[in-house]
């Protein structure tokens, strides 16, 4: 189903020389995340809300399925 996309990514693995990928692990967000995880006690994941997690996963799956169906309708491999 996604053969064309996978093939395209494999062919373009070098990327565009004019726009190289930067390192994201040096950005402010990643550095703050490292500090937060370092301060957290081992094994403590914080409060987990099953309903919120379920809604999040359901919305992500709906988005993936929608993009898959659009891809199938528009791609002619």
Please report the pLDDT score of residue 37 as a whole number: 87
Query: Rounded CA gap, 29 and 50, in Å?
Result: 26
DSSP designation for 21: P
- Reported as a single tens digit per residue, the pLDDT across 7-65 is 666 666 566 666 666 777 888 999 999 999 899 888 888 888 999 999 999 999 888 87
Inter-residue contact 4 to 77 (CB < 8 Å): yes
Query: Rounded CA gap, 32 and 51, in Å?
Result: 27
How many whole angstroms from its chain centre is CA 61?
Answer: 13
Please report the pLDDT score of residue 34 as a whole number: 92
Global pTM? 0.40
């Amino acid at each position: 189903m996604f053969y064309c996309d996978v093939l395209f990514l494999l062919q373009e693995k070098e990327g565009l020389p004019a726009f190289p990928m930067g390192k994201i692990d040096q950005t402010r967000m990643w550095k703050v995340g490292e500090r937060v995880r370092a301060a957290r006690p081992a094994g403590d994941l914080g409060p987990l809300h099953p309903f919120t997690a379920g809604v999040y996963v359901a919305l992500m799956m709906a988005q993936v399925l929608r993009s898959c169906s659009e891809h199938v309708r528009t791609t002619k491999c």
